[in-house]
Amino acid sequence: MNNKRRKFLKTSALGAAGVSLIPSFVMGKPLGYVAPSDKVNLACCGIGHRGGSITKSLHDTGLANIVALCDVDMGAPHTEEVMKMFPNVPRFKYFREMFDKMGKDIEAISVGTPDFSHFPITMLAMSLGKHVYVEKPMARTFQEVQLMMDGAKKYKVATQMGNQGHSEANYFQFKAWKDAGIIKDVTKMTAHMNGRRRWHGWDTNIISFPDKQPIPDTMDWDTWHTTAHEHAYNEDLVNGQWRCWYDFGMGALGDWGAHIMDTAHEFLDLGLPEEIIPTRLDGHNTFFFPMETTLEFKFPKRADMPAMTITWYDGQNNIPPVPEGYGVSELDPNIPPPSDGQLQPAKLNPGKIIYGKDLTFKGGSHGSTLSIIPEEKAKDMASQLPEVMESPSNHFANFLKACKGEEKCRSSFDIAGPLSQVFTLGVLSQRLKAHLKFDRESKQITNHALANELLAGVPPRKGWEEYYKL
């Protein structure tokens, strides 16, 4: 164990123990304490690529005072814009060092790092009483998401997962239409993302990870791994390429599912599925995600709502069937582009089709609103549609206002957690090429021993076990 780690464990253990006794207080201040500046003191973990966009969006609200920047590749080209925005703000490559040195100055953090590293940063922050905004999906394994949900309850902090459509028009429309009985008796939904993904075109006969390359001078490669087991550095593991690999990312499902399935999952009270059935896995291998995937998620009857199946489609040539009267699939200008560039028009653009007993709905991704199809039916229903309220705040302002006790987070961990767990189960089905049966009460996979063990993932690398005990 290196010296910096030994020192951190000694000091942070004392801090965490103190907070656990009075979790509703942060450094002697009541939860929701409003700083004299009326801004939240925010530390940003991950300041390049998507993390940089999150940092800028939180700052743009006017509600955040950026007090610390943290990135394992601080000084790399993709971090320069944020560094120039905040030239006098302390910088760190090691998130534990940041909390150790600046914990008293930090009220909240943003986590815009790779999927696999969300968990340790978030758990440490919550254990120290810090509010957390974490990019979707919440974490990479079922157990990590569960521990994050449990931690949010234990430490009583504001939490927000970064599926920003949960603060936009689709969220408020879906809720209003569900409450008014416009959306009812839903038995199936298709969710689709058929754009090109980073791994499309890769060799699916792969037998090892990419060859070792020199580690950039700016990169703290050891800290980049966090709880993951060590890999040789290669440019195809970093800067968004981590999304491709089962060891680090969540593929198209984890990346886009939270922007497409989120409102149906919440307002139809879906919870966790009973079965996950892979019906298409073209280009399956044990290293990175398939070229084409179709997964069926089967949810049981809930209260007065019938059993429902969500079928997920990804892959450029894996286009779901659309109902008569679907119309044109237009690229919604409100959908943010992926971190690797512009969103390219596909044969069918990202979105969903929701099938109720009497009505069928067509929707896009993120904040895109639903429409009733076919068009003639929409015209007939126009006078029956309820008024939809406008969002009082965007997703970033909603989080910061929640930190101050002024609003409630719309995608808090108790809401976003079960959705993220749906994705972890889907990824297990992809990775193992297996039909999985899941017991919603015991939260165990009942028909596949290895898959059940992998709900917790592989054990963390030595020295990183304490995050699973916070």
Q: Do the beta carbons of residue 371 and residue 378 sit within 8 Å?
A: yes
Higher pLDDT, 372 or 331: 372
pLDDT of 140 above 60: yes
pLDDT at 335: 63
pLDDT recorded at residue 332: 61
CA 438 to CA 223: how far, in whole Å? 34
Which is more confidently placed, 68 or 342? Answer: 68
Helix (H, G, I), strand (E, B) or coil at 3: helix
Enter the CATH code of domain 169-201+251-387+425-450.
Answer: 3.30.360
* Sign of the dihedral defined by the CA atoms of residues 253, 118, 273, 332, in that order: negative
Query: What letter represents residue 296's amino acid?
Result: E
Per-residue pLDDT tens digits for 78-95: 999 999 999 999 999 999
**Mean pLDDT confidence for 151-174:** 97
- 115-133 residue pLDDT tens: 999 999 999 999 999 999 9
pLDDT of 456: 96
Structural domain boundaries in the chain: 169-201+251-387+425-450
* CA gap 169, 161 in Å, rounded: 17
More confident residue, 267 or 28: 267
Q: How far apart are CA 208 and CA 198, in angstroms?
A: 18
